[in-house]
Each structure stands twice: as C-alpha cells, then as structure tokens.
Amino acid sequence: MSEGPDEVTLQRKAKGKRPFYFSDPDVDRLLSMVMALTGELSVTRDRLDTLERVARAKGLFSASDIETYQLTDSDMEERAARHRAIFKEVTRIIVGELEDLEDRDEQDYRAVVDQVENDG
C-alpha cells in the first residue's frame, strides 16, 4: 500500500546498536515478537471488555450473559474449525519441515539452483 503525499513516517528504530542478551540473538527477536503478540492480545481483550461494558450500559447484554451462554454442538463445530485454521497458521513452519522430510524426492536446494543455472 502506498502512502499519500502528506503521510509522515516516523523513525521507528532508535539510533544506536541494539543489545542482545541470549547466546542466540534469535531468542531475543522471538521474545520481542511474543511480547508484541501478547500486547495485541491484550488490546483485543481490552476491546472485548469495553464491548461488554458498553453493552451492559446500553442494556443490551451483560458479561454474565456471555458466561452463561450455552454453546450448541454446531457452535462448537464452527469454533473447532476456526481453531484448526489458527493451529495450521501458527505451526506452519514445523509442519512444513515435516512435509519436507516425508517427501522422498526432495532435492538439496543448492543442487536445484545448480541445475537451473547450468542446464543449458
């Protein structure tokens, strides 16, 4: 997506070498992403909390209506499908590597590069 001519992008990384703490800096990177995700989860929970408070204030429904809502089998099935889609996304890197293992025809990547570079 391109920005309009008036849009200003602020510098987002502080000037100065960023220290890393674990023996593998990828652990720091991953932790930073985990905390960003935790932050976004918290933002979503806060939004739900506001939604419940507004709904109660407006006389629509209360938090206890949510607590006591009886899920039907069909509700559960829809949710389970959504859970499966989430798991599939989150575990993509692990599942992908497994698929590689199971594929007996898998070639070394470098060999493929050699092949396409030198086939003619």
Partner 1 sequence: MSIAYKEQHVHDALPETSHDELARQHFVRSFKEHLVTALHPGLKTAYEKRAKPRFVAEHQREPQSIQEVGQVMKQDSHYQAWSSLLRTSQEMMWSAAQIPVERAIADLAAQAAATPKIGSLRLDPDLQIPSYHTAVDIHCQPGGYHTEYIDNDVAQGAIYDRAVYIYAMGQMGVNNADMGDSTVAWLKQEHPDFKPTRILDMGCAVGHSTLPYASGFEGAEVHAIDVAAPMLRHAHARASSMGLPVHFSQQNAESTDFEDNSFDLVVSHILLHETSSAAIKNVIRECHRVLKPGGMMLHVETPPYEGMEPFDTFIFDWDSENNNEPFWRKSHLLDLEALARDAGFQSHTPIQIMVPSAFQETQRSNTFQGGDFGGGGVWFVYGCQK
Residues at the site binding partner 1, with contacts judged by CB under 8 A: 6, 8-16, 18-22, 27-28, 31-32, 35-36, 38-40, 42-43, 46-47, 50
Tell the smallest beta-carbon distance from residue 25 to partner 1 (Å): 10
Tell the smallest beta-carbon distance from residue 87 to partner 1 (Å): 25
Residue with smaller CB distance to partner 1, 58 or 104: 58
59: region left, alpha or beta (phi > 0 left; psi from -120 to 50 alpha): left
Residue carrying structure tokens 């593998």: 24
Residue with smaller CB distance to partner 1, 27 or 86: 27
Residue with smaller CB distance to partner 1, 18 or 58: 18
For residue 26 the two structure tokens come to 């990828």
